[in-house]
Structure 1
Amino acid sequence: MSMGTLDPVEFLRGALEIPSPSGEERLVAEYLAEGMAKLGMRAFVDEADNARGQIGQGPIQVVLLGHIDTVPGVIPVRLQDGKLFGRGAVDAKGPFVAMIFAAASLPEETLDRLTLHLVGATEEEVPSSKGARFVAGRLRPDYVVIGEPSGWEGITLGYKGRLLVKVRREKDQFHSAHHEPNAAEELISYFVAIKAWAEAMNVGQKAFDQVQYTLRDFRVHPAELKQAAEMFFDLRLPPRLPPEEAIRHLTAYAPPTLELEFFGREIPYLGPKDTPLTRALRLGIRKAGGRPVFKLKTGTSDMNVLAPHWKAPMVAYGPGDSTLDHTPYEHVAVGEFLKGIEALRKALQVLAEAPAPS
């Protein structure tokens, strides 16, 4: 299959030039679907504003899913010193566009063995994960690759889980000379207790097995007859601590006067090292001249959302340096991006030679 007249770098540049913060992905989805159609795929934008493509007619069903929304913030799109700058270059328009060109460049004999379903998913950067949840019950893959930056030689086996927590305290106003802690101080005491709990859980644990905590917001509302304080924090959870277990701990530490609200629950995921998919990716990376390495990520991705629905082998893969995610300097090296396309294409050719799952 030819990549036609579309240049991968210029096509990615065009995608980066279309702003797509979470909830506003329609225009970039239309751009991506139009490109996939030009590359010979059956392409459309679905009801969740996902950019969808399908190619191949084989018995082995493969989903290539990467998100096309970004965090807010404009980075001028430019090609400078072999680096393509722009919001989404790494996280994660770059990995998804790499998937498009890897799929479009497969030979016919591979497409006779594989059916590839490409999903440019919406709202991954917010707790809704709208795009992934929309396709979770509509596709039945044998293998899944999530488009996230792993570096072109990296294969990500797992992501931590997540839990978002809002805490509120409201109480009658009193004079500041009174000995009683005010609403804000009660929240601070609770957060200190949670911090101590997490640090105790982390003793002797490697980074992927630790509980991470981040205070995202803290507000004290002007008081008249009532005083009120709110805080918002999130936890990144290792496989040994699923969200419901974390909630039990957080509730046990909370005085009954605090109002707790939990949302954004994502189950931790850790996949096996040895599957037909990991073997194909390792060989594909080697065929492209690289040295494959397995990685574990302390963040979350659509892998967390989809793993409970799809019991198929699953990894995350994509060109780009994940330390540039969300930064003002987000960019992908052009050589890295092209190597990612090559390695994934070769990996899919190897995967097509595996026996079709029964």
Structure 2
Amino acid sequence: MNPRDLLAELIAIDSVNPDLVPGGNGERAVADFCAEWFEANNFEVHRLEQRAGRPSLVAIRKGTGGGRSLMLNGHIDTVGTAGYDGDPLKPEIKDGRMFGRGTFDMKGGVAAMMVAAAKATERPLRGDVIVACVADEEHGSFGTAEVLTAFTADAAIVTEPSHLEVTLAHKGFVWFDVEIEGRAAHGSRPELGVDAIVKAGHFLVALDRLGQDLADGPQHHLLGTGTVHASLINGGEEASTYPSSCKITLERRTVPGEPPQHVEDELTTILDHLTGTVPGFSAKLTRGLARDPFEADPQAAIVRALIANLGEPPVIRAEPFWTDCALLDRAGIPCVLFGVDGAGAHAATEYVDLASLDRLTEVLTGTITDFCG
């Protein structure tokens, strides 16, 4: 079993997330391929598909009993291929790297965990080995959420790319819509109109001030501080009309200790202050998607097992982006993130370092054996 060959086959299968790119192929074809591969390697295969055409796959090699179970988690969807430099579905090897959409993010990690699970279970282990190939991580992560309704484990490893460094934390995020209310009127009648876009400017200034306050505030030892930015703005009807509304969508990146309600209270305080001090200011705040930050216990058994199999002092890192680690952790499954080296996630050129793919497979194989054995 060679992870390089398996990765090449995975890359050749279009699995663009249709929630990101309308008309995207989705995960069905790649899930079918993985199911056949696992069945050929004597795994028990479960297909979960609450959303038609968007399956996740759970493959299990049951242990003999009395051991700890381990879940390996990786997403099989990719971002879009438009604008990719070359053929995104034709894996090419050059200078020790494999190029193609998803090589780095994250079919490299998926190939490594599949091969490692098969190798580690060639001899019976006491604990169950569970491999979750999940849908939709690139958008809403309903794949891992669906898996967690039916499966659990004593620990988990998420094989997102980490440059072979041990990732023990990552940020969360919360999205909000702020709708500033105005009053429509003809542009010649300022006494009748309230300019929602101008009023929105007061909020944007306050939002910039919040960002500065966060940057100057207390820091998490791995992640630094939370951040905030305005993502989208929309308002107005035509040049000769006072705009009746202006909607701003913003994102607040969070660190441990900043739950969604804390962020909502933070923004409510700003809006209440503007309502009380800016004549004619009125706004509505609506919370959107929220995802928790993640922080692993460095002394957790799975963390110690992974580090022991590195055979050298680990580089500990944290990520500014969100991953499915947070969902696993919230479900009570201690986890750690560890994956390949490479570059180009979501970019016009993407590659995985093939030596790191081999090394990841080796480390995962040893960790599975030690943790479940």
What TM-score results when the alignment is normalised by the length of structure 2?
Answer: 0.84
Alpha-carbon offset, residue 80 of structure 1: 2.3
Contact 1:22 1:123 in 2 (8 A): yes
State the partner residue of 1:68: 76
State the partner residue of 2:294: 269
How many angstroms apart in 1 are the aligned matches of 2:94 and 2:355? 13
Q: Does 1:79 align with 2:93?
A: yes
State the partner residue of 2:63: 57
Q: Deviations over 1:200-249 (max 9, x none)?
A: 12215367131122332222342457533222221110112111111111
State the partner residue of 1:333: 353
Q: Does 1:141 align with 2:153?
A: yes
316, 338, 344: which one pairs with 1:324?
344
Q: Does 1:313 align with 2:334?
A: yes
Alignment-mate amino acid for residue 195 of structure 2: N
Alignment of 1:244-263 (within 5 A): 244-254=261-271, 255=274, 257-263=282-288
Q: Secondary structure at the match of 1:305?
A: helix
How many angstroms apart in 2 are the aligned matches of 1:225 and 1:312? 53
Alignment-mate amino acid for residue 53 of structure 1: A
Query: RMSD in angstroms over aligned alpha carbons?
Result: 2.3
Contact 2:182 2:194 in 1 (8 A): no
Q: Secondary structure at the match of 2:128?
A: strand
State the partner residue of 2:167: 156
Contact 1:95 1:320 in 2 (8 A): no
What TM-score results when the alignment is normalised by the length of structure 1?
Answer: 0.87
Alpha-carbon offset, residue 115 of structure 1: 0.8
How many angstroms apart in 2 are the aligned matches of 1:181 and 1:172? 5
Structure 1 gaps, min length 5? 354-358
State the partner residue of 2:3: 8
Alpha-carbon offset, residue 133 of structure 1: 0.9
Tell me which moved more, 226-235 or 11-20: 226-235
Alignment of 1:201-350 (within 5 A): 201-203=214-216, 205=219, 208-223=223-238, 226-254=243-271, 255=274, 257-286=282-311, 291-309=313-331, 311-321=332-342, 324-350=344-370
State the partner residue of 1:41: 43
How many angstroms apart in 2 are the aligned matches of 1:336 and 1:108? 23
Contact 1:285 1:344 in 2 (8 A): no
Greater C-alpha Rg: 2
Contact 1:34 1:43 in 2 (8 A): no
20, 32, 36: which one pairs with 2:15?
20
Alpha-carbon offset, residue 37 of structure 1: 1.9
Distance 1:253 1:54, change over 3 A: same
How many angstroms apart in 2 are the aligned matches of 1:101 and 1:316? 18
Alpha-carbon offset, residue 331 of structure 1: 1.0
Identity of aligned residues (%): 24
How many angstroms apart in 2 are the aligned matches of 1:187 and 1:338? 52
Q: Does 1:165 align with 2:188?
A: no
Alignment-mate amino acid for residue 51 of structure 1: L
How many angstroms apart in 2 are the aligned matches of 1:18 and 1:182? 51
Distance 1:19 1:191, change over 3 A: farther
Q: Deviations over 1:153-204 (max 9, x none)?
A: x111111111011222342234279498732232232132122123212215
Structure 2 gaps, min length 5? 19-25, 276-281
Alignment-mate amino acid for residue 32 of structure 2: E
Aligned residues: 340
Distance 1:225 1:216, change over 3 A: closer
Contact 2:197 2:243 in 1 (8 A): no
